[in-house]
């Protein structure tokens, strides 16, 4: 069967050819009068390239396939998600805060870090949290070939299975980046692609107040909040701001009447609303 799944990079390559072709035609006056069709073609190519790139990087965009970035619900529920771990001592500190407030969360773990800290992954599961796949090397999947993407996902599921005996059914591509081939690979494996609706850019360590304010200001029913207990595969940066922000986000949102749930639970709320 003809495979219609096309990589973003191929689409952008084709559009570049169209843009250059349009500019050359215009320059050579071939399509110039009276309408300057060549320039028009080039502008359409640039606009299409910008559109397709946004489709690949915006967390709420469905053009390349269905992603989950929030839940449509009238219930006061939100989901905390932590990316890039496990990473000692910050994952333990996040888990301690979650335990103190009895709040469940979802951890999108990096396979390489799972192999480094299998006991932390076990603790995540033991304490009632959900696990998600965040690739093995935290790679940009838009720059990876099909075989690499498949191995990044499968290898991570294998090491998670070795650590805790089960495999996740949710995945978050690093940076949220995806294209039709990435989406197809996830679909074949029965993996739901989960993005986020609230991002405080906590990984830049802007200060606890900033992380809390950026998060709390935008929260609504069904929000999926992105935070970080890890730092990719480098694991160099401190995540102490994210740990402290987690505590204050929980305190503030609990006071506002919000309940915290896992990604699975918050997505189930959308289904409840439909029925």
Mark 127-166 with x for binding to Zn ion (rule: CB under 5 A) and - for no binding: ----------------------------------------
Site for Zn ion contains 59 (CB under 5 A): no
Instruction: Decide if residue 104 touches Zn ion (CB under 5 A).
Output: no
Q: Could you write out the three-class secondary structure of the chain?
A: CCCCCCCHHHHHHHHHHHHHHHHHHHHCCCCCCCCCHHHHHHHHHHHHHHHHHHHHHCCCCCCCCCCECECCCCCCEEEEEEECCCCCCHHHHHHHHHHHHCCCCEEEECHHHHHHCHHHHHHHHHCCCEEEECCCCCCCHHHCCHHHHHHHHHHHHHHHHHHHCCCCCEECCHHHCCCHHHHHHHHHCCCEEECCCEECCHHHCCCHHHHHHHHHHHCCCCEEEEEECCECECCCCCCHHHHHHHHHHHHHHHHCCCEEECHHHHHHHHHHHHC
The answer to whether residue 155 is catalytic is no
Q: Catalytic pick from 26, 83, 84, 231? A: 83
Q: How far apart are CA 186 and CA 170, in angstroms?
A: 9
Q: In the set 70, 83, 92, 195, which binds Zn ion (CB under 5 A)?
A: 83
Task: Based on the residue annotation, tell me whether 229 is a catalytic residue of this protein.
Answer: no
Q: 129, 134, 155, 228: which one is catalytic?
A: 228
Binds Zn ion by CB under 5 A, chosen from 26, 70, 84, 152: 84
Nearest 5°: phi and psi at 197? -115, -15
49 vs 174 by CB, closer to Zn ion: 174
Stretch that binds Zn ion, among 35-43, 76-84, 122-130, 218-226 (CB under 5 A): 76-84
* Binding status of residue 174 toward Zn ion by CB under 5 A: yes
Whichever of 84 and 229 has its CB closer to Zn ion, that residue is 84
Pick the piece of the chain touching Zn ion (CB under 5 A) from 84-92, 116-124, 156-164, 177-185: 84-92
| Rounded distance between C-alpha atoms, residue 182 and residue 150, angstroms | 9
Question: Which range in 78-86, 139-147, 153-161, 219-227 contacts Zn ion by CB under 5 A?
Answer: 78-86
CA distance 69 to 29: 48
- Which is nearer to Zn ion, 148 or 221 (by Cβ)? 148
Query: Total number of residues binding Zn ion (CB under 5 A)?
Result: 3
Which of 113, 267, 97 is closest to 194 using CA atoms? 267
Question: Least separation, in Å, of the C-beta of 228 and Zn ion?
Answer: 7
Residue nearest to Zn ion according to CB distances in the complex: 83
Q: Find the shortest distance in angstroms from Cβ 192 to Zn ion.
A: 17
Residue nearer to Zn ion on the CB measure, 73 or 246: 246
Query: Closest separation between CB of residue 84 and Zn ion, Å?
Result: 4
List residues with catalytic annotation.
83, 228
Which residues bind to Zn ion, rule: CB under 5 A? 83-84, 174
């Amino acid at each position: 069967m003809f495979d219609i799944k096309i990589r973003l990079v191929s689409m952008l390559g084709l559009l570049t050819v169209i843009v250059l072709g349009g500019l050359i035609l215009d320059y050579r006056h071939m399509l110039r009068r009276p309408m300057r069709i060549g320039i028009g073609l080039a502008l359409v190519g640039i606009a299409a390239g910008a559109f397709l790139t946004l489709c690949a990087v915006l967390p709420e965009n469905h053009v390349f396939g269905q992603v989950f970035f929030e839940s449509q619900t009238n219930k006061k529920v939100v989901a905390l998600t932590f990316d890039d771990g496990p990473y000692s001592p910050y994952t333990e500190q996040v888990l301690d805060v979650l335990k103190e407030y009895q709040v469940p969360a979802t951890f999108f773990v990096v396979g390489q870090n799972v192999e480094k800290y299998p006991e932390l992954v076990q603790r995540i599961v033991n304490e009632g949290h959900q696990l998600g796949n965040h690739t093995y090397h935290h790679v940009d999947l838009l720059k990876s070939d099909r075989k690499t993407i498949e191995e990044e996902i499968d290898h991570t599921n294998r090491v998670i299975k070795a650590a805790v005996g089960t495999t996740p059914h949710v995945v978050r591509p690093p940076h949220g980046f995806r294209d039709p081939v990435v989406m197809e690979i996830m679909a074949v494996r029965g993996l739901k692609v989960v993005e986020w609706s609230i991002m405080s850019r906590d990984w830049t360590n802007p200060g606890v107040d900033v992380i809390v304010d950026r998060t709390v200001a935008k929260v609504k029913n069904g929000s999926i909040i992105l935070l970080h207990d890890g730092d990719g595969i480098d694991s160099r940066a401190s995540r102490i701001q994210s740990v402290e922000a987690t505590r204050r986000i929980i305190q503030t949102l609990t006071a506002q009447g919000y309940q915290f749930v896992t990604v699975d639970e918050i997505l189930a709320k959308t289904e409840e609303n439909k029925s």
